Structure 1
C-alpha cells in the first residue's frame, strides 16, 4: 500500500465522518442559536434551558439518522477496509 493509497483512505474516512456528523452538528447549532436568541429576548439566563432542549434535539436527530449513518459506515467498511485487508 503506497502513501497515495493511505492518503486516499484517510480522505475518504474524514469525508465519511463529516457526512455522518453533519446532521447532528447542524441541529445542535440551530437549536443553540434559537435558544440563545430566546434567552436574549427574555433575559432568562438558565443553564438547563440551553442544555436540555439541545440534548433532546441531538438525541432525536441521532435516532432519525441512525439507519443512514449505520448503512454509510457499513458500506465504507465493506468497500474500502475489507478490500484492503483482503489485499485488493
Structure 2
C-alpha cells in the first residue's frame, strides 16, 4: 500500500464523514437559529427551550436519513476498505 492510496482512502473517509453528518448538522443549525430568534423576539430565556426542539428535530432527521447513512457507510467499506484489507 503506497502513500497515495493511504491519502486517497483518508480523503474519501473524511468526505463520507461530511456527507453523513451534513443533514444532522444542518438541522441543528436551523433549529438553533429559529429558537434563538424566538427567544430574542419574546425575551424568554429558558435553557430547555433551546435544547428540546433541537434534539427533537435531530432525532427526526436521524430517523429519516438513517438508510442514507447506512448505505453510504456500507458502500464505502465494501468498495474501498475491504478490498484494501484483502489486498485486491
TM-score, normalised to structure 1, is 0.99
Deviation by residue 1:18-65 (Cα, 9 ceiling, x = unmatched): 000000000000000000000000000000000000000000000000
User: Where do residues 67-82 of structure 1 align in structure 2 (5 Å cutoff)?
Assistant: 67-82=67-82
RMSD, matched Cα:
0.4
1:86 offset after TM fit, Å? 1.1
Q: Which runs of 5+ in 1 are unaligned?
A: none
- Who is 1:63 aligned against? 63
TM-score, normalised to structure 2, is 0.99
In 1: Cα distance, 2:74 partner to 2:33 partner: 33
Runs of 4+, deviation exceeding 6 Å = none
- Who is 1:85 aligned against? 85
In 2: Cα distance, 1:8 partner to 1:22 partner: 21
